[in-house]
Chain A
Amino acid sequence: MSFIKPTTNSSPFATSTSWTNIAGASTYNQSWISVWTDAQNNTTATIDSGEAISMTSGQNTTNVSRYYYDNHNDYALSGHLYYTSGQSLSESSDEIICVDNAFLIYGADQMDSTVSRTHIIKVEP
Chain B
Amino acid sequence: MTYLPTSVSNNTAIDIDSLTILKNSTTDISVSAGTVIPWGSAVQEYGTATYSVSSGVITLPSGYYYLVKSALGAYTSLGNLSASTISYQFYDTGASSYIGRRGWLAWQEYPKLSGGDEYALALIDASSASKTIDLRMLTVSHTGITVDSTAEQYIYAGYSRCEIYKWS
Contacts and interface: CB of A to CB of B under 8 A. Distances in A.
B7 interface: yes
Interface string A111-125: 000000000011111
Contacts of B6: 6-10
Contact of A80 (B5, B76, B156): B156
Contact of A87 (B4, B81, B118, B159): B81
Interface residues of B, number: 55
Interface of B: 2, 4-16, 19, 21, 23-24, 43, 45-46, 65, 67, 71-78, 81, 105, 107-109, 118-119, 125, 127, 148-149, 151-161, 163, 167
Most chain-A CB neighbours within 10 Å: which of B10, B11, B43, B153?
A: B11
Interface of A: 1-12, 15-16, 32, 50-51, 53, 64-66, 68, 72, 74-80, 82, 84, 86-99, 121-125
B43 A77 contact: yes
Contacts of B65: 1
A89 to B, nearest CB: 5
Given A90-B74, A99-B46, A5 B13 contact: yes
Given A12-B4, A86-B108, A5 B74 contact: no
Nearest to A32: B11
User: What 6 pairs across the A-B complex have the smallest Cβ distances?
Assistant: A92-B73, A93-B71, A78-B158, A5-B15, A75-B159, A80-B157
Given A89-B77, A92-B159, A94-B118, A12 B13 contact: yes
Contact of B158 (A7, A10, A76, A122): A76
Contacts of B13: 4-5, 7, 12, 15-16, 121-123
A99 to B, nearest CB: 4
Contact of B74 (A1, A3, A6, A91): A91
A80 B12 contact: no
B46 A92 contact: no
A4 B14 contact: yes
How would you classify the secondary structure of chain A's contact residues: helix, strand, loop or mixed? loop
Nearest to A74: B43
Contacts of B45: 53, 72, 97-99
A123 B46 CA distance: 9
Nearest to B82: A87
Contacts of B107: 88-89, 91
Contacts of A10: 4-6
Contacts of B81: 87, 89
Contacts of B160: 76, 92
B2 A122 contact: no
Given A91-B75, A92-B118, A124-B12, 18 more contacts: A1-B125, A1-B127, A3-B15, A5-B8, A5-B13, A6-B6, A8-B11, A10-B5, A51-B46, A64-B157, A65-B156, A66-B158, A75-B73, A80-B156, A89-B76, A90-B156, A92-B72, A122-B13
